[in-house]
A and B are shown apart, each in its own frame.
Chain A
Amino acid sequence: MRNNPPKIITYLANLPLNLLLYATLIVPFALMIYLAFLAWNPAAGINWWEAPFTGVNNFIRALSDSRFIAALGRTAAFVVIVVTIEFFLGLALAYFMLEEFKGKKISLSLIIYPLMLPWVVVALIFYLFFQDYGPMNNVFLKLIIGESAQNIHWFLSSTTAFISLIIADVWQWTPFIFLVMYSGLSAVSKRLIEAAQVLGASSRTIFWRIQLPLIKPLVLIAVVLRALEAFKVFDIAYVMTGGGPGTSTETISLYIYRVAIEYHDISYAAALSLIVLIILVIIIRSFIWYSFERGVKR
């Protein structure tokens, strides 16, 4: 059956996907490449097919656009910081959750439920959480610093506003890293661990020398997927800080959104998108090569 598929079946199997992809995504992707080389602003009252070409002007403008470079750097910093924190928190939590104990089942369900909440709701939760009378000032800061803690106006200074975004992201996504590591670690064969115990290895040695190396490929996948997801960061910045104060928490997604929607500079937004896309496609392609294809060729 595998050797001789009837043509009609393979054709039917692919038709719906291709129709959908061409109708909604592939045509716009082609359009984006075209738009990026135009000088078009819909406010001028002409259609995009009537707009003049400007060659690579949009791209040159992007390279000297300090707001764009700053947003790109800020987003990259955000990705590195949140992924690092989430990695170590997730790892520690997976280590502590591994053995059986009373209340494990309920703890597991509670730990992973931030993953299911809509990102806007997470943004809303932390928008309320960081208000002057919210629990960040009144519970956590007082626990850490003591009763003398002053209320911090989290969204009014650029550093604390950025930190509040990091905290919201870490809150929602540490469970993801935890979940991948936890399911990887609990799949490691019990016999292997027992054998090591018989040979006299301590539980710490077993964790670092046996369990962790075995789940390394899983951890790599989780970290890369998380990093790509973190790079998208839009919802929490849009809802919690609005990119502010000033443009100090503006992420790359938020900046492109603003150029396109608020400044109506469509062709420039298309050029910015293309630059980001090319960077990301190179990263994703090399990840796919590194994790799937490298092994095949070896």
Chain B
Amino acid sequence: MNHKIISKFTRYLVIIIFLSWILIPVLWMVTLAFKSYPEWRVAYFFPKEPTFMNFILIFEPKQIVGMMGATALVDPVTLPFINSLLVVGASTVLSVIIGFFTAYGASRYNSPGPFSLFFTLLTRMLPPATFVTPIMVYYSNLKLLDSHLGLIMLYSAVTVTYGIWILKGFIDQVPIEWEQAALLEGASHLQVVFRVTLPIVKSGLVVSGLFIFLLNWAELLFALVLTNVQAVTLPVHISKYVGAVGQLYGPQAALGILSSLIPVIIGYIIQKHLVTAFTFGMVR
């Protein structure tokens, strides 16, 4: 009995230590976002006079220059935020649609050759830095640099593999007899795909879509290389804020909060499927 109490105590201790290790860095960013300028460089966590100033500053940054030691003019976060929503949203829809078709073919007819499947898996496993250079050259010849279309195409190409593998898992579970029954009833093959299989795997579409959204929302390197002014995304905006503007700790923290809101909500919805998603369905 005594042994059991000790092991129970150890467990709680280990978990509490680990949880505080996870939470303290985030807590620091969250409280920093509500601190006013004089409190950015203090050692305590909770601001004496909480303020929303930092959140206003990231949308209207003109006042930062001069006042808070900033060395350059920063752009408001509005355009990058809208760009991120647009680019990530469109590329997610595209990869889920393409992923569904490919997954259907893979599940029912073994269709896409091993090359396409290996290639999509490969582009996900390789560091983006190793193939972003030729893409930049190619895009500059096609006049796709700094365009939403270029980013959308690239983002869906590098995440479509998750759409394929996650959806293949869902489609594999739809009994093939149901499709055969529909065929016997006189439905065409296309009708079977859209009227029988698609509605059943709806939750798979949602899971893969949300996961792909999560990944593309976080993507920095491609956007950093391929955008400049018009199509700048949120991660690029954050990296510029940290690199060029100096020690604007408060607004930086506010930006961090702004860009984690959507991922945290999505993550909460799909947490049961995260393992499957991250491992291309290899682990269930």
Which residues of A approach B to under 8 Å, CB–CB? 1-2, 5-6, 8-10, 12-18, 20-21, 23-29, 31-32, 35, 48, 92-93, 96-97, 99, 101, 107-121, 123-129, 131-135, 137-140, 171, 175-176, 179-180, 183-184, 218, 221-222, 225, 228, 231-232, 234-235, 238-239, 242, 252-254, 256-257, 260-261, 266, 269-270, 273, 276-277, 280-281, 284, 288
Contact = CB atoms under 8 A, between A and B. Distances in A.
Nearest to B177: A1
A14 B242 CA distance: 43
B101 interface: yes
18 contacts: A9-B109, A17-B98, A17-B112, A109-B271, A112-B267, A113-B264, A113-B267, A118-B235, A120-B235, A124-B238, A125-B29, A131-B249, A133-B41, A133-B43, A222-B283, A235-B239, A254-B129, A273-B131
Contacts of B94: 20
B102 A128 contact: no
A16 B123 CA distance: 17
A116 B267 contact: yes
Interface in B198-239: 214, 217-218, 220-221, 224-225, 234-235, 238-239
Nearest to A89: B18
Contacts of B263: 116-118
Contact of A25 (B104, B108, B157): B157
Nearest to A253: B129
A129 B253 CA distance: 11
Contacts of A140: 24
* 4 tightest A-B CB contacts, nearest first: A13-B105, A116-B267, A118-B218, A253-B129
A119 B220 contact: yes
B6 interface: no
B51 interface: no
Interface residues of B, number: 98
B153 A24 contact: yes
B90 interface: no
B52 interface: no
Contacts of A92: 14
Contacts of B118: 288
Contacts of A228: 125
Nearest to A129: B25
B129 A273 contact: yes
B259 A121 contact: yes
A131 to B, nearest CB: 7
Interface string B150-176: 000110111010001000000000001
B136 interface: yes
Contacts of A235: 220-221, 235, 239
A135 B217 CA distance: 28
Given A31-B138, A96-B15, A118-B218, 15 more contacts: A10-B111, A24-B153, A35-B134, A48-B137, A116-B214, A128-B249, A171-B22, A179-B275, A232-B127, A234-B128, A261-B136, A266-B137, A276-B130, A277-B130, A284-B125
A109 B75 CA distance: 35
Interface string B246-284: 000100110110011001101110010011001100110
Given A28-B138, A96-B11, A115-B274, A16 B25 contact: no
